[in-house]
Chain A
Amino acid sequence: MRTERRVTHRSGTIFDTSRFYRMLSTPAMLLLTFLFIVPLLITLSKAFISTEGTLSFGRIFEMMRDPYTQRILRFTLFQALISTIVSLAIGIPGAYLLVTYSFRGKHIIRAISMIPFVLPSILVVLGFVIFYGNNGILNSVLKQVFNLSEPPIRLLYTFTAVILAHAFYNFPIALGLISSFWEQLPQRYNQAAMTLGAKKWTVFRTITLPRIIPAILSASTLIFLFCFSSFAILLVLGGGPKFTTIEVEIYRRARMSLDIEGAAALSLLSIFVTITLVAIHLWLQRLMIRQEDVEQIQEQRLERKPHTIFGKFIVGAYVIFSIFFVLGPLAGIVYRSFQIPVSRSGDLAFSFDAYRQLFGFKQAPGSFLSIAGSALVTSITIAAITAAISLIIGTMLGARLRTRDKQGNSSLELYAMLPMAVSSVIVGLGYYIITSTLSGGDTLGRTLVILAHVVITTPFVLRSIVPEYRKIPISYSQASLTLGATVSQTFWHVELPLLRPALITGAAFAFALSMGEINATLVLADASIVTVPIIMYRLIGSYNFAGACALGTILIACCAIVFLTTESLRRSHNG
């Protein structure tokens, strides 16, 4: 099929000069600025205050020269790098399988694998321990089956455990991002290469790999940023302070030592590093993205069922592996929620008590629902509103970012990705400072929580919308204009409907992230806003692990429902 020739002229097309698009991004930018940049700047400004209270760079220089700081910075970068590489190593073959073969349960794997990413980290830690721990499910089963006295798998409390946990958390991102990008690539080039005599591996190495690099970059930046600011996983699963990261130190100074200035200075350093990384990533992306040929007919990539024994084996093995890897800790959490210590012996036995307690116990004030029930309602409401708002903002920004060649675009993209690059402790601090100067009671609290969630989820919505938006051939929008539609009408009637799958994915992700968000919520919410993660956190804090796991199970179930629905909606759109 012929390829479309895009006419992009430097003098600017109608879309570049359109006021509509330019206006779209303004409210989004405003929101981002007030909700994020301002609190951030307020907190960071404290870094410039020396111990005497005067304005100086001294603190920052001291921080940079301190060998301890340098050491933990190096380690932070190192573990993030290794985690990213491992996540990619697991994710890319998986993406290949997802793209090439069709097999039962494929969509379920895709949906479920996104769940770990949105869960609060303490749940991930617990889940990991429950499943992989020395006294965990895996070891117990193995001990029984092979009649051993000692647990055979001693994964935890080592560097390996940390990397594995990071990979568990993050490889689905690699899987999802890369596979969805990959399956859009036309197969012509591979086919051409094969007729020229290239073997499969060569084809992959020379043709496919270079073309999926933008997706790999995208995924790796996301993963890196998350591993960079990883906290609980490192300390608990790593086994001790040898695995200290910058985030730990920031947390310590801000929360325990009352050294806001020190926390701010350290944070400034950390932000500098992460922003540089994000900038490099965006630059590399622009360098690597060639104008992908746009097919008139969306070539139905013919997935085949694996027909060789080897193929079947590989697929089967990977499916089992990922189920294991992803579902294992999740299953651990579910399992634990049914384990209640009975009577005097304290042994754990199967029981619904945790759920019964949660849902029957104690009415929440002013509501007919139980505490857990009303927390669930609150969480879902906040998540829904967050998803709606961040979807709107993400789309607006996406429309603005669509014209690829503009100089302002990369800084806009960078701006929008900032929330991912900054430690939530720092953002939390900033919010603290703001709320301390404002007064507004409950209403303010609710609004702030929602807005904070929006800030946190928008980068993800953006990540899922922008690439899809760029794929819409510009000729469609041009055609719409010639047919009599204004730019804004084109946006509503042509571009938005074509974005539907991306919008659904983005919204689902925002929803799930909001459901599992704990850090900002803890800071901003007072007693009146109680979400599921907060209750979970409180349960853990009061010895009630079964209860926390029960809520965790509910959270997992909610996210699973959302993602599964998304997958089926996407399929019905494409199918």
Chain B
Amino acid sequence: MGELGLVCSNIRVTYPEFSLHLDLAVNKGELVSIIGPSGCGKSTTLQLITGLLPCETGTIMLHGVDITHMPVWERNIGMVFQDYALFPHVNVAKNIAYSLKLKKIPKKEQIERVRHLLDLVGLQGFEKRRIADLSGGERQRVALARALASEPQLLLLDEPLSALDAKMRKRLRQQIRHIHETTGITTIYVTHDQEEALTLSDRILVMQQGSMEQFATPEEIYNHPSTLYAAKFMGEGTLLPHALIPKILVSIDKGPDTVVFRSSGESRQVFFRPERVIVHDNPALAFPEFLPHLRFSDARVLSCEYQGGRYLITCDWNGHEILAYSRYRPKHTKVTLGVRVNDLVEYVEGLVAR
């Protein structure tokens, strides 16, 4: 358990659209992503943390200091806005040095720090450039440099990469990770892109309609999402009623894994990821009996989408849609699919049941 960085306790704010309920503890130096659909309260959370929105109840502690009622400008929390909010009337250097100037740091030192920061974000020599002349990626990095200038204890990023193209996004993602590792600054990163969240974060917070769905490591959330919502949000998957299991269960006499079939309620469902599915399309070959526990025979291939290195196949099995990844394009219209029981996550009314 690392040292505590940001602790939001019992934050409750009510809006007409939803009620925001936060109980969050971020470790020092951690990079936490907040992910969720539009309007779920991600940006609101950031605004509450910075103090741009007032907090009605609860407390916010940063590195042990209670900042709940501290004005925005005293909190020393760096934030990168979605539109970057770079001041158009001054150049790059002046933007970055803004907070330094406010702190009355001597000119020489300002210049030095600006240079250092531009180095850090990979924009050496950009001091005199005008904001209007910068590309999207460059702006993002200047915004980052600006937020970092005053050496804040917490860095907030509000969907910083959403305005960029895919390639730029990938590059900058790495850059952000690199900067985070170099500075060691506690970071909260808001995004609606689950791939970003998965690659960048130490932990991910999934939010929905103002409430925290799950707060765990990327692997945990991906493989064991605690709610159906989180499951669906973090990636592709197949959802089937639990009652199907007896029909497709392939019993194994021996082996450490024993499958216990529990009696189901109507609302019990199972969920599994496409990469966990074995696709067997050659009837001439034997079905690897020892691997899967569930067998879907004669699933009809509905569509096959090439994703660069693999295929995403959508199959229909007795009216249920199943998603699977396959290395090769299925040669036949009928395939057999298999899934291990361990790779199933069960949900009762949207919540994980185990």
Contacts and interface: CB of A to CB of B under 8 A. Distances in A.
Interface string A66-105: 0000000000000000000000000000000000000000
A9 B53 contact: yes
Given A4-B83, A294-B83, A473-B85, A10 B50 contact: no
A489 B103 CA distance: 12
A483 B98 contact: yes
A478 B136 CA distance: 20
Contact of A484 (B44, B136, B150): B150
B51 A14 contact: yes
A483 B81 contact: no
Interface in A1-52: 1-2, 4-5, 7, 9-14, 17
Contact of A7 (B13, B47, B90): B47
Given A11-B13, A485-B73, A494 B87 contact: yes
Contacts of A296: 83-84, 139, 163
A219 B226 CA distance: 58
A478 B139 CA distance: 17
A7 B53 CA distance: 10
Interface string A472-503: 01011011111111100100011001101000
B245 to A, nearest CB: 44
B78 interface: yes
Contacts of B85: 473, 475-476, 478-479
Interface residues of B, number: 43
Nearest to B163: A2
B98 A297 contact: no
B146 interface: yes
Nearest to B81: A475
B214 interface: no
A480 B146 CA distance: 10
Contact of A475 (B72, B83, B98): B83
A448 B159 CA distance: 55
Considering residues A296, A478, A481, A500, which has the most beta carbons from chain B within 10 angstroms of its beta carbon?
A296
Interface majority SS (helix, strand, loop, mixed), chain A: loop
A6 B69 CA distance: 24
A484 B102 contact: yes
Contact of A10 (B15, B78, B79, B84): B15
B81 A7 contact: no
Nearest to B89: A497
Interface string A373-416: 00000000000000000000000000000000000000000000
A288 to B, nearest CB: 23
Contact of B82 (A2, A14, A480, A484): A2
A296 B90 CA distance: 15
Contacts of B83: 2, 4, 294, 296, 473, 475
Nearest to B38: A5
A298 interface: yes
Contacts of B13: 11
Contacts of B103: 484
Given A2-B83, A13-B53, A481 B16 contact: no
Contacts of B54: 11-12, 14, 17
A482 B50 contact: yes
A297 B13 CA distance: 34
B269 to A, nearest CB: 34
A494 B98 CA distance: 10
B132 interface: yes
Given A1-B163, A2-B163, A484 B81 contact: no
B162 A2 contact: yes
Nearest to B162: A2
Contacts of B53: 7, 9, 11, 13-14
A483 B71 contact: no
A484 B70 CA distance: 12
A468 to B, nearest CB: 13
Contacts, number: 110
Contact of A478 (B52, B87, B90, B102): B52
Nearest to A17: B54
A485 B150 CA distance: 12
A498 B150 contact: no
A5 B82 contact: yes
Contacts of A5: 43, 82
A292 B89 CA distance: 21
Nearest to A16: B54
Contacts of A13: 52-53
Interface in B78-131: 78-79, 81-85, 87-90, 98-99, 102-103
Given A2-B162, A494-B87, A481 B132 contact: no
A479 B162 contact: no
Considering residues A7, A12, A479, A489, which has the most beta carbons from chain B within 10 angstroms of its beta carbon?
A479
Contacts of B238: none
B217 interface: no
A4 to B, nearest CB: 4
B76 interface: yes
B16 A482 contact: no
A489 B98 CA distance: 11
Given A2-B162, A11-B15, A497-B89, A484 B43 contact: no
A497 B146 CA distance: 19
A498 B102 contact: no
Given A2-B83, A479-B79, A298 B132 contact: yes
B77 A482 contact: yes
B103 to A, nearest CB: 7
A298 B131 CA distance: 11
B132 A297 contact: yes
Contacts of A10: 15-16
Nearest to A2: B163
Contacts of B132: 297-298
Contacts of B47: 7, 478
Contacts of A17: 54
A483 B102 contact: yes
Interface string B238-258: 000000000000000000000
B71 A486 contact: yes
Contacts of A494: 87
A12 B54 CA distance: 8
Contacts of A481: 50-52, 72-73
Given A10-B15, A475-B83, A484-B73, A489 B102 contact: yes
A73 B74 CA distance: 59
A5 B13 CA distance: 20
Interface in A504-550: none
A298 B146 CA distance: 21
Nearest to B156: A482
Contacts of A500: 89
Interface string A222-238: 00000000000000000
Contacts of B90: 497
A486 B72 CA distance: 8
Nearest to B43: A7
A478 B83 CA distance: 12
A301 B52 CA distance: 34
B73 A486 contact: yes
Given A7-B43, A297-B132, A484-B76, A475 B102 contact: no
Given A7-B44, A483-B78, A483-B146, 4 more contacts: A4-B82, A5-B82, A475-B83, A498-B88
5 contacts: A1-B163, A297-B132, A479-B146, A480-B98, A498-B87
Interface of B: 13, 15-16, 43-44, 47, 50-54, 56, 71-79, 81-85, 87-90, 98-99, 102-103, 132, 136, 139, 146-147, 149-150, 162-163
Considering the complex of A and B, which 8 residue pairs feature the smallest CB-CB distances, nearest first?
A479-B85, A4-B83, A2-B163, A475-B85, A483-B99, A481-B72, A482-B79, A497-B89
Interface of A: 1-2, 4-5, 7, 9-14, 17, 294, 296-298, 473, 475-476, 478-486, 489, 493-494, 497-498, 500
